[in-house]
Amino acid sequence: MAGFVTIEKGLGPEGRIAVVRFDRGDGINALSPEALRQLTDAARSFEDDGETSVVVLTGGARAFTAGFDLKDPEGRARATMDLGTLRRHLKLGPRLTRAWQEMEQITIGAIEGFCVGGGVALAVALDFRVMARDGHMRVPEIGLGMNMSWQSVPRMLHLIGPARTKQAVILADKRISAAEALEWGLVEEVAEPGQALAAAMALAAKVAAQPPLSVAMTKLTVNRLTHALDDLASHMDLDQFALASLSEDHKEGVAAFLGRRKPTFRGR
């Protein structure tokens, strides 16, 4: 199986920074089920790492990620899965975002180009996000007859509030520019094009200069307080996704996307 993820440790002051790079080399960086597994494994590889206190996650030079890969054979097999198999398969995304959110290290996303769908879900599971000025985010799930899952709705809600979350998710073809994302609180910093990783590394160096134990405990406290009710509020999103995937509107949304045409939704 091709390796899409590389990990470089021992960077920055005292070697306390690591960079995780997800790059399929195709300029699109779609999240196939295999890519989801590799990114989950990358997050988990830091569980017992006391030497690293900051992890920077970045994508390719032209794209952080285009989101879930609708053309991947394993992903497309979902269309014929029974409900039990589908529910198990749908756990890959939530497992990924949870693994990154629950890391003890501070996590920083360095985003160049576009960050779409599952890419946004992954980005909002991190502690901080740095985005290139010419980059943008988009949440297309609803336009494909799906719901926004992977527990990203509560995460977005904490960052940008209810109206902005509805705006981002319901207006599925809306591109959220880097400037808008900064204004909304969806990203913390905007960098010059091509400089997102450098800016993220500069922020990482500031974090790495702090006492690691105090940083880890503070992150845990903030996260526990912030996300205390998230499971309660969004435990159904996986089942909503499974339900939505059985709808005619979902089949129409995907067919229209793959056929490069405008979908016609009928609410069934």
Does residue 202 belong to any structural domain of this protein? Answer: no
Number of other residues whose CB lies within 10 A of the CB of residue 198: 12
Which token pair is 45? 């590889």
Helices (H), strands (E): how many in the chain?
A: 12, 10
Does residue 204 belong to any structural domain of this protein? Answer: no
Does residue 38 belong to any structural domain of this protein? Answer: yes
Does residue 30 belong to any structural domain of this protein? Answer: yes
Does residue 68 belong to any structural domain of this protein? Answer: yes
Average pLDDT over residues 162-179: 94
pLDDT category of residue 2 using cuts at 50, 70 and 90:
confident
- Strand segments (E) across 120-218: 128-132, 136-138, 176-177, 189-191
pLDDT above 90 coverage of the chain, percent: 77
Question: How many folded domains does the chain comprise?
Answer: 1
pTM (2 d.p.): 0.95
Average pLDDT over residues 49-64: 96
Number of other residues whose CB lies within 10 A of the CB of residue 259: 9
Q: Which of 61-70, 101-110, 131-140, 183-192 has the lowest mean pLDDT?
A: 61-70
- CA terminus-to-terminus distance, the chain: 38
CATH code where residue 49 lies: 3.90.226.10
Does residue 106 belong to any structural domain of this protein? Answer: yes
pLDDT category of residue 1 using cuts at 50, 70 and 90:
low
Check residue 254 and give its pLDDT. Answer: 87
Which domain does 254 fall in, by range? 5-195+213-258
Number of other residues whose CB lies within 10 A of the CB of residue 232: 8
Q: Which of 38-52, 95-109, 222-236 has the lowest mean pLDDT?
A: 222-236
Does residue 180 belong to any structural domain of this protein? Answer: yes
Q: What is the DSSP letter of 135?
A: -
Distance of alpha carbon 12 from its chain centroid, rounded? 25
Does residue 84 belong to any structural domain of this protein? Answer: yes
Average pLDDT over residues 157-177: 95
Which token pair is 62? 């032209």
pLDDT category of residue 74 using cuts at 50, 70 and 90:
confident
30 pLDDT above the threshold of 70: yes
Cβ atoms of 51 and 9 closer than 8 Å: yes
CA distance 202 to 197: 9
104 pLDDT above the threshold of 70: yes
Check residue 57 and give its pLDDT. Answer: 98
Q: What 3-state DSSP class applies to 121?
A: helix
| Chain mean pLDDT for the chain | 94
Average pLDDT over residues 92-112: 97
